[in-house]
Structure 1
Amino acid sequence: MKKKTAITFLEYLDKIENPDLEKYNYSEEIREVVSAEKFLKNFSIAVFVADFQTGTYPFIGEGVEEVMGHPLGAFLEGGLKFTDYILEVPAEIDNKCLNQQIILFDSLKGKKMPDIRFKMTIPITDKKKKKRFYCQQYKIIRRESDYFPLGFYGFVTKVPDTGEEKVTQQIELLNSEKNQWEVSSNLEFYLNVDENKLLSKREIEILKWISEGLNSEQIATKLYISVHTVKTHRKNMLRRTNSSNSADLIRYGIEHKLL
């Protein structure tokens, strides 16, 4: 079976852009972000409303230059393609994040789409060509007739400079019965760390025992540590390697010559 080729964010925009469709009125979302902007006016936060169909920003807050280091006009004129231009996310990571979104939307086709919220940490180059990291949170705007994703709205703020260069993407779905947000997927990528060094010596030991088919209790006995410690290590290993289960962890170990 032929492997599906990953597409970039720009290619995805080109795929769904359709200026001929009936224009959506973003007035409700704009009211929400304007209200939030007034409340957060004393903090370095920029609010926005983005339109997938036209690739534009129907609204973006005046605080965007203070936060992101580019003038408001650049975003209004260049739209989402300008934002993509200043993003410093490596293509391979960008593809993995975008494909996770596409997989989600494909899985929801024909179903009543739940509320979807994204949390992302991304690097962007400011007008002085300096790379900075930002936290962006936004919610998908859906068309009522068929729940097609029309755009998104939310806010972006700076991330404190800790020296750790990490790109993250967390997708959450609203469980309407429990009225709770639940994590659908979580990705983490470390830009300034060799992938072969993501796991500690102890975690590599645990990975080797996992590959031998041992459970947490058996590994704890082998390494003279608690079961809780083994489970904590395993949880961190899954998160840092973007693995869903032990099979994914073993695959990661083989690919990076750790096993």
Structure 2
Amino acid sequence: METSSIPPFSHLLTDTVVNLPSSWQTQPYTWQPEETGLENLIRSNPALELFLNAGPCISWLWQVRSGKYSFMSTNAGTILGYASSSFIKGGVSFTRNLFHPDDTAPVAKLMRKIWVYLMAVPAHERESCQFSCDYRLRKADGSYVRLLEQSRVFQTDTQGNITHIFGVWTDISHWKKNEILTASIQSSENGNCLVCTSVDTQLQPQHTVSKREQEVIKLIAEGLNSQEIADRLGISFHTITTHRNNIREKTNCRKVSELIRYAIHNGMI
């Protein structure tokens, strides 16, 4: 699948999250002889597992072929109220049943856009893709929390089919109050970033924030002012002012709080 056009099997995608991987399940599939490196690394490294379980974000590793989670950090119990074993046993079907009723259809449409685009990406570029989407999930106590899902292709097989996706869920309930859902996909291979929303589901190019501008954004989020950022990066105050103006134009964020929300959503911090 080295063509940039959408493959003919894209019609197999339906507007339900549980069926998104079905398009991969009909494709030629070649397993690597060894397990994915992350699974082995987590199992053999107690410190890493402790770090993931105690972190502020829920971390997971999803097997696309089976629809099951290979790993779900135990802090899912703290943040959502469900034992990680519930996700591992129930897979993506368990997650789908937790969606807010008003978000189920929009999320399915947005993720369908992402997956159709992903399937059109040349096989050798898929591992460079990362994507995000926000939605509400029901906690065990019946309340809802807005999560930002940030994930990336973690492993492909010898044919370029995606086998594993690594992702995190971050609670952004305190950052985002409106109900418009946003999804994006970005390639570290070419820097392209496409965005769509539940209001406008067409993937649109987004102005790419340069690596230097991302460094500036991270330092802004840490609370540094322009002079402090200039000193930290070893460049002039005037250059930082130019970067900040460019960032403002590219992100359309006029306030620091808006910029931080933007950076979190797009995986910059």
Q: TM-score, normalised by structure 2?
A: 0.57
Structure 1 residue aligned with 2:38: 29
Shift of 1:148: 0.9
Instruction: Spell out, residue by residue over 1:51-110, the C-alpha distance to the aligned partner (whole angstroms, 9 max, x if none).
Output: 010111111111111122222221111011111111226344123312222331232256
Q: Aligned equivalents of 2:22 and 2:157: distance in 1?
A: 22
**Aligned-pair CA distance for 1:5:** 8.9
User: 1:166 Cα shift?
Assistant: 3.9
Counterpart position of 2:99: 87
**Aligned match for 1:140, one of 150, 153, 169:** 153
CA RMSD of superposed structures (Å): 3.5
Query: Offset at 1:120?
Result: 2.2
What 5-or-longer segments of structure 2 have no aligned partner? 1-10, 200-244, 254-269
Change (3 A) 1:117 1:12: same
How far, CA to CA, are the matches of 2:122 and 2:249 in structure 1?
36
Residues 110-259 of structure 1 aligned to structure 2 (within 5 Å):
112-161=125-174, 163-175=177-189, 182-189=191-198
SS of aligned partner of 2:109: helix
Whole-angstrom CA distance in 2 between matches of 1:134 and 1:234 = 21
Moved more, 5-14 or 94-103: 5-14
- Structure 2 residue 20 is matched with structure 1 residue 12: yes
Q: Could you say which residue in structure 2 is the equivalent of 1:102?
A: 115
Post-superposition Cα deviations, 1:13-44, rounded to whole Å, max 9, x if no partner, equal: 344347x9665554412326976554466543
Paired residues of 2:64 and 2:164 also in contact (CA < 8 A)? yes
Per-residue Cα deviation, 1:107-159 (whole angstroms, up to 9, x for no partner): 22565435111122221011222111012211113324121111201222211
Report Cα offsets for 1:190-232 as digits up to 9, x if no partner.
7xxxxxxxxxxxxxxxxxxxxxxxxxxxxxxxxxxxxx9xx96
Match of 1:65, SS state, is helix
Letter in structure 2 aligned against 1:16:
W
2:145 match: secondary structure: strand
* Structure 1 residue identity aligned to 2:132: K
SS in 1 for 2:141: coil
> 2 CA distance for matches of 1:107 and 1:143?
15
Distance in structure 2 (CA, Å) of the matches to 1:186 and 1:79: 27
Q: Counterpart of 1:65?
A: 77
Is 1:142–1:151's contact at 8 Å kept on the other side of the alignment?
yes
Q: How does 1:46-61 map to 2 (within 5 A)?
A: 46-61=58-73
Aligned-partner Cα distance in 1 for 2:167–2:115: 20
Percentage of pairs with the same residue = 11
Question: In the alignment, is the contact (CA less than 8 A) between 1:86 and 1:125 conserved in 2?
Answer: yes
User: Structure 1: which 5+ runs fail to align?
Assistant: 177-181, 191-227, 237-259
Question: Aligned to 2:126, what secondary structure does the other structure show?
Answer: coil
Instruction: Tell me the secondary structure at the aligned position of residue 86 of structure 1.
Output: coil
